[in-house]
Amino acid sequence: MATRAPLDVYLLPGLGADHRLFAKLELGEHRTHFLDWPRMRKGSTLSDFARELASQVDKKRPHALVGVSMGGMVAQELAVLTGPERTVIISSWKGPHEMPPPIKLLRGTHPERLLTRQFIQASLPFMRWQMGVEGQEAVKLFDELLEVHTVEQLQVQIDAVLHWDGPAKPVKDLVHLHGTSDRLMPILFIKDPVKVPKGGHFMVFQRAPQVSRLVVEALAR
């Protein structure tokens, strides 16, 4: 396989997460940069998130965007602004057409307004199961990530994801990695993914060697 010169790779985590989600991702000679979520005002859209982050991307250098879940959605919005060589989304959606019916039914409503810290704590066992979080190390990280953002910021992020209409225009050179065991975003509704056998929603950490290899292959295309 022909190799591509090392790229600046900008990594965008999932909803409520930060750069620690990528602790086990190995991308060889590519230079990695972490784009953690800024504080955003109520009513912000994913395109607003992308515009806020765009100044952190050196558009003059060949680069790629790699995003997980919400990060994959923002990566698609960001791609319109920065013109990457490649965009890789992991455990994500390319638009509302890939959302499962229960999620689509929530569009136009605001379930995030019911979110409280007490609700998050009470829901931890279910959320770990839904995200495919297994093993002491992964559980520890997942629980810690839930403390990164305030409830108010989590509400902003949930609302932005739920009401996302997809990128302003189709993203060129897009690769979509998706786990076959993703319970949060079932692969049944995903169009043309690169399938990761038995991968769950947390696979960028849980199955880092496998995901790392697939990302490196995608960057080399």
Flag whether 3 is in a domain. no
Flag whether 202 is in a domain. yes
Please tell me the total count of domains within the chain.
1
Flag whether 159 is in a domain. yes
Q: CATH code at 113? A: 3.40.50.1820
The beta-strand segments (E) located in 26-173 are 31-34, 63-68, 86-90
pLDDT of residue 1: 43
The Cα 130–Cα 142 span in angstroms is 12
- Cβ-based burial of 42 (10 A; exposed 0-12, middle 13-18, buried ≥19): exposed
pLDDT of residue 168: 85
Flag whether 157 is in a domain. yes
pLDDT of residue 3: 58
Average confidence (pLDDT) per 10 residues, the chain, 221 residues: 80 97 97 97 97 97 98 98 97 97 93 94 96 96 93 97 93 97 98 98 98 97 85
Strands 8-12 and 63-68, bridge-based pairing: parallel
pLDDT of residue 4: 73
Flag whether 1 is in a domain. no
Stated pTM of the model:
0.95
Q: Which domain holds residue 47?
A: 8-220
Contact 144, 133 (CB under 8 A): no
Flag whether 2 is in a domain. no
**For residue 63, which of 97, 38, 44, 86 has the smallest C-alpha distance?**
86
